[in-house]
Chains A and B, each alone.
Chain A
Amino acid sequence: KQEVTQIPAALSVPEGENLVLNCSFTDSAIYNLQWFRQDPGKGLTSLLLIQSSQREQTSGRLNASLDKSSGRSTLYIAASQPGDSATYLCAVRTGGSQGNLIFGKGTKLSVKP
């Protein structure tokens, strides 16, 4: 059974710091991995999608890496801003292109001005 774990559960940093969020999964047979952002009480915003054959994806200040063999992914946020404060969720898609997502519990990030 696929399980996704995110560490740390919560993180508080001063504005301007670079930071890394971690995601691990127990079964390396994934189709892809997706990072999401969730603001309080809101839906999920897709940040980055990494296919199983890829090693990393970048979008602006965000960079996500994938090491499928070790069951790990990291989300790197450069030069953090107060507007980055949110919960970040990692999800893996199993069962091929038609499979469902299995989520971690998220990392709650707070960036202090």
Chain B
Amino acid sequence: DAGVTQSPTHLIKTRGQQVTLRCSPKSGHDTVSWYQQALGQGPQFIFQYYEEEERQRGNFPDRFSGHQFPNYSSELNVNALLLGDSALYLCASSLEGTSLTGELFFGEGSRLTVL
């Protein structure tokens, strides 16, 4: 059973550029969330996608946008990159339902370095 997979694992960009990160959820999961983890910090919630719609959003600017596809995979896009966007970007998946535990499963992350 494949877990959450993310690509690319590492990438380097320069200020002002745009980046797209990709995530495939755990088999059978329908909800995808994205988190940003700066060095030495806990992950911060960016947004969550369910049924191809952004359902919740954390305190991140509009430069951060996303998409969920019919197969539940997801993309995170960041425009006009800033040095402060350098971080580990984590994707998490879950299966929604009031009778379920709500446990989140995370991928290995995409390490973004902005120069």
Contact = CB atoms under 8 A, between A and B. Distances in A.
B72 interface: no
Interface string A79-107: 00000000001010101011111111110
A99 B104 CA distance: 11
Nearest to A4: B42
Contact of B102 (A4, A32, A42, A45): A32
Given A46-B103, A97-B102, A100-B33, A105 B42 contact: yes
Interface in B1-42: 4, 6, 31, 33, 35, 40-42
A42 B33 CA distance: 17
Interface residues on B, range: 20 to 34
Contacts of B103: 32, 34, 46, 49
Interface residues of A, number: 27
Where chain A touches its partner, the secondary structure class is: strand
B90 interface: yes
Interface in A8-51: 31-32, 34, 36, 41-46, 49, 51
Interface of B: 4, 6, 31, 33, 35, 40-45, 48, 50, 55-56, 58, 88, 90, 92, 96-98, 100-109, 111
